[in-house]
């Protein structure tokens, strides 16, 4: 992605605002087992939590929580289809300590529990595109 010059804006967002969001995204995606609140991320970049959330929504197209929950579930689906990790290990790898909560969030995203999803993908009845 080409970033606009510092004085230019990409619609509503400046180059520095876009850079903050992209750096935050990169940091979070590098290790999904770690959880960072929007408040922690905002503090790290020296801006208010509300500004950080506004930048994320405007630049990534979804709220902070929605965007990164979706990314966590995509990674979980990938792990379920490409590894033999236990469900709790997959949950931990994407930042969930509670397997039940992970299963509920996953089922809302994919329509199946993680175990059902894995069984369907192994039998070829569920297609997941990476």
Where exactly are the structural domains of the chain? 9-61, 70-123
pLDDT per position as a tens digit, 1-51: 444 444 344 468 999 999 999 999 999 999 999 999 999 999 999 999 999
**Tokens 């619609």 label which residue?**
11
Amino acid 7: pLDDT: 39
70-123 topology per CATH: Arc Repressor Mutant, subunit A (1.10.10)
Domain 9-61 and domain 70-123, same fold? Reply is yes
State which CATH number among 2.60.40, 1.10.10, 3.30.110, 2.30.29 fits the domain covering 9-61: 1.10.10
Q: What is the pTM of this model?
A: 0.84
């Amino acid at each position: 992605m080409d970033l606009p010059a510092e004085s230019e804006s990409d619609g509503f967002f400046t180059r520095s605002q876009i850079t903050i969001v992209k750096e935050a995204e990169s940091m979070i995606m590098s290790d999904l087992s770690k959880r960072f609140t929007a408040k922690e991320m905002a503090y790290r970049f020296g801006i208010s939590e509300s500004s950080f959330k506004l930048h994320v929504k405007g630049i990534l197209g979804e709220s902070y929580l929605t965007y990164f929950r979706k990314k966590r579930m995509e990674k979980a689906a990938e792990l379920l289809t490409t590894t033999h990790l236990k469900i709790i290990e997959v949950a931990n790898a994407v930042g969930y300590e509670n397997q039940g909560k992970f299963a509920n969030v996953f089922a809302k995203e994919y329509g199946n529990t993680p175990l059902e999803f894995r069984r369907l993908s192994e039998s070829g009845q569920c297609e997941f595109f990476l």
